[in-house]
Amino acid sequence: MFYSRRVCLVFLVLILCAGLFMPTVGAVFEDISDPATQTAATLLQNLGIVSGYGDGKFHPDDSLTRAQFCKMAVLLSGTQDIAAYEGFTIFPDVRADHWGRGYINAAVRAVKIITGFPDGTFKPEANITFAQAVTTIMRLLGYSDSDVGPNWPRSYLDKASQISLTKGLNLSANDVITRGQAAQLFYNAIFANNIDGKKFSDELGLKEHKVIILRQDGMSPDNLNKGLVTIGGDGFYPYRSVLAAEEGTRGLLLVDGDGYALDWTPETQTRRDITVRVTGPMSVTGADGSKIDNIPSAALVYINGEKNTWEDCWIDIPSGLALRFFYGASGAIDYVFLFQPTDEGIVKIIGVEPTAGRNPLPSFDINANAHVIKNGVSSSWTDLRLYDVMIYNEQSNIVNVTDFRITGIYENALPNREAPDNVVTLSGQSFAVLPNVRPKLAEKKIGEALTFLFTPDGRIADIRTEKLPSYQPGITVGGGSVMLYNGMIISGDDSSSRDFGEGTPVTACMYESGKLNTQPILAKGGVELDINNMKVGTADIAPYAVFFDLSGSSGQAVLVDIADLPDTVDAGNVVSVNLDSAGRATLILLRNVTGDAWLYGFTSVDRSWDEEDGPGSNYYMLILDNQYGRQFLYDPRSFGRDSHSNVYGVAMGIYGNVIASKACVRVNNVRRSAFSGNSALTVSGVLRPIPDGLKVYVEATKKYISIADARVYSNDFTVFLDKPAADGGKPRFIIAL
C-alpha cells in the first residue's frame, strides 16, 4: 500500500469528486420531458410493448386508439401466437385487412380483457377513454365485475385507485387517454397486485433485486455489454435502454428472465453531500466549514463497491473527496458512498517550471477552469510546480496533483526486469508503474538509486537519475523507521551518525541500499504565523503545507492539521519554515502550539533506585494511565510529583523521557447539556472542540466509553483542559461521575 494509518493524513489517494453524483442519463425518447413518463415509456420499450416512432420520438401527447391499446395490453399479457387470432372476424368493423385484428381478437377471446359495444362493433379507431383503459387493465390483473362492484365505471375506477393502478393520473372517466398517460397506466399495472394479491411483475416472470447502484454506465466483465454495476444482487446488469439510476442510491431493480435491467425504483432517502476537509473517528468537517457529527463507528462505507465500516476507513479518507451520506427513515446515517476510480484519468507531468502568472493547464489539454486539488487540498493552477504529477478526470473536471517524489534504491521488478509492471523500492515496498515507465526501468540496474515520481493514487509516473536525492518530511517512529507526511513508512539502518529519538521531525529518503537517510529539520523560524491571511512572516503559506508541532524545545512532534491551529502563533513558537521554489511555506515546525503532542491522563510517580548502585541512586518513573493503557515513563526530574494520582499533561522528549509535566485545568459540575453533539463542549462559558477519538473515563466502572455513550450514561462530568478555556484550552480528559 502507498499509505498507512497516521496521526494526521495530509494526502492519500487523491480522487475525482465534484461530478461524482451526477451520472449522464441519455433520454430514451427525446420528446418526453416528464421523468415519470420517461421511466414508464423506457420500461415498456424494454419489454417490447412500445417502440416509439422512427424519428426517435414517443409523441406522449397523442391520443391512443382502442386498437393500439389492445395491442399493448395483449403484449403485456405475454400472449405469443397472435397469428392464430388473425384468421377470423368477431366485429364487423375489424375486417381481415385491419392491422390490429389479431390483437383485438386475442384480447377478446384469449385474454378476455375487453369487449365490443352493444351494437356489435368494436370501434378500433375510436380514442380509448380513461374508464375503458382502466377496466381493460383491471381485467388483465384478474379482476371482474363481481370483484369490484356492479356500477361501471365507478366501481372499477375506485378499485383501481385502491391498488395504486391510477397513481399519478388525474383523469375523469370519459377523458381521452394519451400515449404518455397509457404508459404510466401500464407501468403502474406491472407493480400492482393482481386479484390473488401477488405482484403482476411476478406473473410476468420479472424479478426485483435490492441493490445499491455503483456505476450507472459500467461495462460487463467481458466488456461486451453496458449496464449497471451494483453492490448486491448479481453485481452487473446489462440494459437495453439507459436507466436513470443515480450512483450511490439504493432501491429495487426490475430484471427480466435474461438478466437485463428493465426499471429502477429508488428508495426514498435523505442524503447530504460534503467535500472533505478533515475526517475524524466520529465526524467529517467539510471544505465549507460544515460538519457531519456523531457518525457511528459501524456505519457502512462503500468504497468502489467494497464494504467497509467507518471505524476501519475514516483515517484513510483524504481531503478533497466528495462523500454522500444516506439517512434512513429515523434520521440516522444509513450508509456512506464514495467512488474513487484510481486508474481513470490522463496522467501528465510538468516538465518545465510554469511561467509566473500563466495558467499551464491548457498546454496539457486540460480545461483552464479545472478544479485543482494538490496533495489532498483544494488549490489552484498557481500552485503547480516543476515535476508535479497530475491526473485529470474530464468528467469531473478535476486535476489531482502531487509533488511527492522521493529517492530510493531500485530493489527489484515484477514480474521481471525486462517487462516491469511493479517496482520494489523503499525497503521492500511494491508500487505499480505506468506504461511509459516500463521501458525506462528496463534500462536501469538493480541497486541503482532513482528518484521516483508518484501519481496522486500511488503509482510511479516517472523515474529520474539525479545527483541530489529527493527527501520528504516525516517523523521518526522508532526501530529505524520514518513515517512520511503522506503516511508511508520507510525503514532501514540510519547511515548518519545521528541517533534521532522517536518523534523527531526529519526529512528522509533511501539513496543507499538498506540504509535510511535522514536529515534534521533545522530551526530557522522566528516569524509570526498568521493563519487567517495564510502568511508566515512575509511568505505565503501553500494550501497544502505540512505542519509539525513539538511538545517542547526538545520534545516529540506530531503532524497537525491547519484547522487545529489558532488564528495567530507568536514568532517565538515558530521553530522552522521551509520554502519552495516560489518562496511559499510548505513545511512549518511549531513548538507547543496545539498541545496535541502532549500525553494526558492520570499520573503518579514511582520512586526507585538503580539496582547496581543501591538505594542512594534515586530515579523516578512517571506512570501515565489513559484510554490507551498504562505507560511507564522515565522522569528524571520527577515532574508531576504528587502524593496521589491526578490528571496531568506530559511532554515527551525525542528519546522517550519526560521533559515537562503540568496539571490540567479542572472544571467540575459540567452537565450533559454542555455538550454540542460529540465534537464540542462548553466549558466555563466557552465552546471548545473535543479532540477526535477522545473517550470518557467512567468513575464507577473504571472503563473508557465513547462521548456518545457517556452523554447517555451520565449528566455530571469533570473536564480537564490543557489550559483555561478562555485561553484556547481543549478538553483533554473527561470523567463521567
Tell me: pLDDT of 3 over 60: no
CB 337 within 8 A of CB 26: no
- What's the rounded mean pLDDT across residues 233-256? 88
- Angle, vertex CA 82, rays to CA 77 and CA 85, nearest 5: 115
Please, what's the b/e burial string for 639-670 (b: 16 or more CB within 10 A of its CB; e: otherwise)?
bbeeeeeebbbbbbbbeebbbbbeebbebeeb
Alpha helices (H) in 176-262, listed in sequence order:
179-191, 200-203
As a whole number, the mean pLDDT across the chain is: 85
The yes-or-no verdict on residue 124 having pLDDT over 60 is yes
Do you find a cis peptide bond into 281, omega within 30 degrees of 0? no
Phi, psi of 35 (to 5 degrees): -60, -40
∠236-238-239 over CA atoms, to 5°?
140
Three-state DSSP state, 4: coil
Q: What is the pLDDT of residues 567-578, one digit of tens each?
A: 899 999 999 998
Which range, 48-57, 364-373, 606-615, is most confident?
364-373
Specify the pLDDT at position 27: 45
Cα–Cα nearest to 220, from 193, 260, 173, 172? 260
Q: How far apart are CA 79 and CA 75, in angstroms?
A: 6
pTM above 0.85, yes or no: no
Q: What Cα–Cα distance (Å) separates residue 104 from each residue in 113, 121, 588, 646?
A: 10, 12, 82, 91
Beta strand pairing status for 346-349 and 481-484?
Answer: unpaired
Q: How far apart are CA 565 and CA 399, in angstroms?
A: 28
pLDDT value of residue 395: 67
CA–chain centroid gap for 290, Å, is 16
Rounded to whole angstroms, how far apart are CA atoms 389 and 453? 7
Helix axes 35-46, 179-191, angle to 10 degrees: 70
Q: What is the number of residues in the chain?
A: 737
The reported pLDDT for the residue numbered 490 is: 93
- The letter for the amino acid at 558 is V
**Does position 111 have pLDDT exceeding 50, yes or no?**
yes
Cis ω for the linkage preceding 153 (within 30 of 0): yes
Q: What is the pLDDT of residue 612?
A: 53
**Enclosing H/E stretch for 70:** helix 66-77
pLDDT of residue 19: 31
pLDDT at position 607 = 67
Split at pLDDT 50, 70, 90, the class of 341 is: very low
Average pLDDT over residues 111-115: 93
Instruction: Answer yes or no: is pLDDT of 639 > 50.
Output: yes
User: 72-81, 128-137, 181-190, 394-403: lowest mean pLDDT where?
Assistant: 394-403
pLDDT of residue 28: 63
pLDDT at 611 over 80: no
How are the residues of the chain apportioned to helix, strand and coil, as percentages rounded to the nearest 5?
15, 35, 45
Q: How far apart are CA 24 and CA 323, in angstroms?
A: 19
Q: Identify the band that residue 467 occupies on the pLDDT scale cut at 50, 70 and 90.
A: confident
Q: Distance between CA atoms of 223 and 713, rounded to whole angstroms? A: 55
Give the per-residue pLDDT at 268.
86
pLDDT at 7: 27
Comparison of pLDDT for 371 and 460, the residue scoring more: 460
At 176, the pLDDT band (50, 70, 90 cuts) reads very high
438 phi/psi in degrees, rounded to 5:
-55, -50
Three-state SS for 311? helix
Q: What is the pLDDT of residue 53?
A: 72
Report the SS3 class of residue 546.
Answer: strand
pLDDT for position 499:
64
What is the residue whose three cell numbers read 478533497? 320
The whole-number pLDDT of residue 211 equals: 93
Q: Could you tell me which residues come within 8 angstroms of residue 230 by beta carbon, excluding any fewer than 6 positions away?
A: 209, 211, 212, 213, 214, 236, 237, 253
Residue 289 CB partners (closer than 8 Å, separation 6+): none
Q: What is the dihedral of CA 637, 641, 646, 649, to 10 degrees?
A: -20
- Comparing 496 with 311, the larger pLDDT belongs to 311
Cell numbers given for 308: 467497509
3-state secondary structure of 427: coil
* Whether residue 510 has pLDDT greater than 90: yes
- Whole-number pLDDT of residue 24: 33
Q: Assign 293 a pLDDT band (cuts: 50, 70, 90).
A: confident
Q: What is the pLDDT of residues 12-66, one digit of tens each?
A: 332 223 233 333 333 468 888 888 898 888 889 888 888 767 677 888 999 999 9
Contacts 24+ apart (CB under 8 A), 106-112: 106/74, 106/79, 106/82, 107/70, 107/73, 107/74, 107/136, 109/85, 110/74, 110/79, 110/85, 111/73, 111/74, 111/77, 111/79, 111/139, 111/140, 112/139
Q: What is the 3-state secondary structure (H, E, C) of 74-110?
A: HHHHCCCCHHHHCCCCCCCCCCCCCCCHHHHHHHHHH
* pLDDT at residue 146 greater than cutoff 60: yes
pLDDT class of 4 with cuts at 50, 70, 90: very low
Dist CA 139 CA 67 (whole Å): 17
Angle subtended at Cα 509 by Cα 586 and Cα 559, rounded to the nearest 5 degrees: 45
**pLDDT higher than threshold 60 for residue 460:** yes
What's the confidence (pLDDT) of residue 5?
A: 27
